[in-house]
Chains A and B, each alone.
Chain A
Amino acid sequence: MSPWLQGLTRLRQYPSALAGLGIIVLLVAVAIYAVTAIPYSEARDLWRSGEAWQDLPTSAPPVWADRLLGGDAPRTIRVATDDVVMEQERYEGVRLQRATLPVEFPYGGFPQEVNLFVESQFDDRQPFVRLTWRTPDGEAIPLGARRVGESERISISQDRQLESRLGFAPQVGLFTDAAPGTDDPQVRQGTYELVIEAIQFEETATLDANLVVYGQVHGLFGTDHKRRDLAVALLWGTPIALAFGLLAAVGTTVTTLIIAATGVWLGGWVDAAIQRLTEVNMILPLLPILVMVGTLYSTSIWLMLGVVVVLGIFSAGIKMYRAMLLPIREAPYIEAARAYGAGNARIILRYLVPRILPVLIPTFVTLIPTYVFLEASLAVLGLGDPVLPTWGKILNDAQAQSALYHGHYYWVLEPAALLMLTGLGFAMLGFALDRVFNPRLRSV
């Protein structure tokens, strides 16, 4: 059995390694799901668009967080004219369309907002729409009448007139039977109705309306200040974090190792040059350079990755690998390889490098989360990729919106938990691998 297989079999004896491996498998599964469910360009566009998110509440915590605390905050309710039968009556030259949108409201809290999205098609005469709110008791509250354009948002909860008429903000006043001006209005649960009456002046004109009663909570992960569902960012942040961590770790470790091996094998000025370059690079601070590149040039994640890898190559790792490789350079098997005619490249890649790969693997595994964290830190510092949703960007947004001050803990905790889970998974596997492949750490 090869030493590799042997090492991996031995890994089974470490429960922490299995747990770590489990976490990593889970993250990878999530990442794969993310990229297959929402392709890269789609995810990028989705995250940037405003429209896609218009019927989600702003900064709404996840449903389970509210329910866990015994809350009964409303979820978002959407009712469209397509879901109901549209009555039609004809008068001389005009049509009267009427739709009743039922709103089943069983929650203990008031909605965040109430909006009606109206779309209509006409040639040149806009339809005229009148809205009426009907409470479960049958009381009718007129919401006003107006002409509507092709696509219009009627913000019912923003209606100042209505507010003064009701004595409450509309999203409260419409859902309570408390007397106007009461300090602590209670929700009147039951089925409400929005009656839409449209007068069409053209024969072919149409009207579609979509009522959104915004909840106070949303989905599994909640939403941010731009109504975007955090699920998308958290989901898509996974492949980005893993890819960034993996590519940076592979890029730095493998290149570092090969460069160190080349220096050790060729010696002379090549080695000296690599050493001096490393020494200079080691005193260059990584973060300020990244900040500089980010502010002056671009914050594209792939550019950052490149900078991290390039600066990571000539790092302390070179010194470490060099120290490990120097005695191996003198190994008889290398001399034997020279004696049977192996060239420099072959000796470096096939005889020197594989010898310390086992030591490299744990380093490599524990390095992955370091780079994941680095990416997150960059994003928090405002150097996140401008277009991609990542965990770091969520944190950055949360920070910008003073999420913690406003009590939106979920907004910070969710990406933080994922970051920690990633760190934990790779660390547990990495430390176990270290024990397996690093005999010095293995007690007999």
Chain B
Amino acid sequence: MADAPLMEIEDLGLSYATEQGTLRAVDGVDLALHRGEALAVLGESGCGKSSLAKTLLRTLPRNAYPPTGQLRLQGREVLGLPEERFRREVRWVRIALVMQAAMNALNPVVRVGEQVAEPLRIHRRASRRQARQRAAEAFEEVGIPTDFLRRYPHELSGGMRQRAVLAMALVTEPDLVLLDEPTSALDVLTQASIMNVLKRIKHERGVSFVFITHDVATASELADRVALMYAGQVVEAASARAFFDEPAHPYSRLLMAAVPRLHQERPPSPIPGRPPSLLDPPAGCRFAERCPWAFERCGEPPPMAPCGERHHARCWLHPGLGGER
């Protein structure tokens, strides 16, 4: 590990003020991402995936408290930057975001070409011609015929709109693109072709991706590394190989067994129970209540412990923490 990772997240935390009290949506998240890597952030609904993405880009809703912890881009701390500088130097310049359901958030009265060029005009202060030129290139890159530039969003199919949103994230040539559930609303074939586009871009351009999804199979389509979240925390971070073949955390293992598969005789088995409330999470391991391997020690909060090459898990069972399997 010669050079600093592209992105390093340390002890990141985010809370929301709600009517019922403080809701800790992201709690002590540590992650590292190298250039050209794709990290899949996996987790079930409400575990804090979108909140994590919003914290990284600081596009937080008004009831969010200021995030805590550190976010370093190539060794430079940016979480503490004043908003104005963050906007000028980081957002969309270094990190671009494809929001959840972004394809439905396109402005219906502006041509898609103009919307795709918009980030360039704002963040790179490009001329109108340059911007149009780049937008056309981005369209080709994501596989939309360039004559679609002059169309309005409703004239595009769902898959096309999702590609347009993707193009919008790519025009400024950021180092890192955050994708929040980019394919969840699409059908299988469209989903697969968009994943194909992402794979190609990653391969050809060396862009890094943080790819948020709740679908294990979709995660495996792009990920070099996987971070599994549970109740606001990352419970396992590993290479895709290690995660899909030998998951370390009990939740990871149960989750893999719960995935319906096309080619498997054994039926998937659901995970009993429900995730805890983030308003008042349990003091110890957050998965303890549903964990078939839980023992006394699980009443204390386990730290992230190494269990292999760039492989960490938040579980007391783990050899790194002296527990026996």
Interface residues of A (CB under 8 A from B): 444
Contact = CB atoms under 8 A, between A and B. Distances in A.
B325 interface: no
Interface residues of B, number: 6
Contacts of A444: 17-19, 61-63
Nearest to A443: B62
A411 B18 CA distance: 52
A444 B61 CA distance: 10
Contacts of B61: 444
| Chain A facing B: main interface SS | loop
Contacts of B63: 444
Interface string B132-174: 0000000000000000000000000000000000000000000
B159 to A, nearest CB: 24
A444 B18 CA distance: 7
A103 B19 CA distance: 70
Cβ-closest 6 pairs across A and B: A444-B63, A444-B62, A444-B17, A444-B18, A444-B19, A444-B61
A444 B64 CA distance: 10
A444 B62 CA distance: 8
Interface string B36-63: 0000000000000000000000000111
Interface of B: 17-19, 61-63
Nearest to B19: A444
Contacts of B62: 444
A444 B17 CA distance: 8
B224 to A, nearest CB: 38
B17 to A, nearest CB: 7
6 contacts: A444-B17, A444-B18, A444-B19, A444-B61, A444-B62, A444-B63
A444 B63 CA distance: 7
A3 to B, nearest CB: 13
A10 to B, nearest CB: 9
Contacts of B19: 444
Nearest to A442: B19
B136 to A, nearest CB: 37
A317 B62 CA distance: 33
B252 to A, nearest CB: 34
A444 B19 CA distance: 8
B311 to A, nearest CB: 39
A85 B224 CA distance: 116
Nearest to A10: B19
A444 B16 CA distance: 10
B23 to A, nearest CB: 11
B15 to A, nearest CB: 13
B290 to A, nearest CB: 28
Nearest to A444: B63
A434 B121 CA distance: 42
A282 to B, nearest CB: 29
A243 B52 CA distance: 56
A390 to B, nearest CB: 44
A444 B60 CA distance: 14
Nearest to B17: A444
Contacts of B17: 444
Contacts of B18: 444
A444 B65 CA distance: 13
Nearest to B18: A444
A444 B22 CA distance: 12
Nearest to B62: A444
A181 to B, nearest CB: 81
B42 to A, nearest CB: 28
A68 to B, nearest CB: 48
Nearest to B63: A444
B137 to A, nearest CB: 40
B176 to A, nearest CB: 30
B179 to A, nearest CB: 27
B88 to A, nearest CB: 29
A211 B214 CA distance: 95
A160 to B, nearest CB: 80
B82 to A, nearest CB: 25
A398 B106 CA distance: 62
B61 to A, nearest CB: 8
A297 B61 CA distance: 60
B105 to A, nearest CB: 18
A34 B62 CA distance: 51
A265 B61 CA distance: 37
A444 B23 CA distance: 13
Nearest to B16: A444
A167 B116 CA distance: 100
B127 to A, nearest CB: 40
A144 to B, nearest CB: 83
B46 to A, nearest CB: 17
B189 to A, nearest CB: 26
A444 B20 CA distance: 11
A398 to B, nearest CB: 50
B191 to A, nearest CB: 24
B20 to A, nearest CB: 12
